[in-house]
Amino acid sequence: MLKPFYKNRSGFTLVEVVVSLTIIAILILLALPTYQDTLLKSRRAEARSALHLVMLQQERFYTQHNTYSAFTSKTTSPFKWWSGSSVENSYYEINGEPCPGRPINQCVLLTAESGTSNVKHVDDAICGNLMLDSANNKTYSNGSEPNSLCW
């Protein structure tokens, strides 16, 4: 007696493959926003860390010269103007300028600006640019209320 054709088959049916691919696609769609949010938080943390490091350098500069130093990526300065381990891997550019209404020898405002022509772009709709001044005031450009996500 001959065995039926379907009993000798091996492999997967088209329906099984489609169901498996659908499940994988749903899992990816659920995981992708969480992954992107985690990347954004890590880049923001990197910017905060760079701001604190540059502020420590500014304070050291202040003790030696009795003034802070304004700087940008276009000026020659002893301060690191990018947030990452290298310029190519950075998402924030750091600039130093006098605090509004005060001279540079009294206060410096450091700004971590996202997505300039010198660094990679990151779309941070919650915080925008992060700012730290020499009085340790922590602010951000996309709001005025304290936000624990930003600082």
CB count within 10 Å of CB 58 equals 21
Please tell me the distance from the alpha carbon of residue 101 to that of residue 142, in angstroms, as a whole number: 21
In this predicted model, what pLDDT tens digit does every residue of 109-132 receive, in sequence order? 999 998 788 999 888 888 999 999
Residues with Cβ < 8 Å from 120, sequence gap 6 or more?
89, 90, 91
**Which token pair is 51?**
């701001």
In this predicted model, what pLDDT tens digit does every residue of 68-111 receive, in sequence order? 999 999 988 889 999 988 989 999 999 999 999 999 999 999 99
At 136, which amino acid appears? Answer: N
- Give the pTM: 0.80
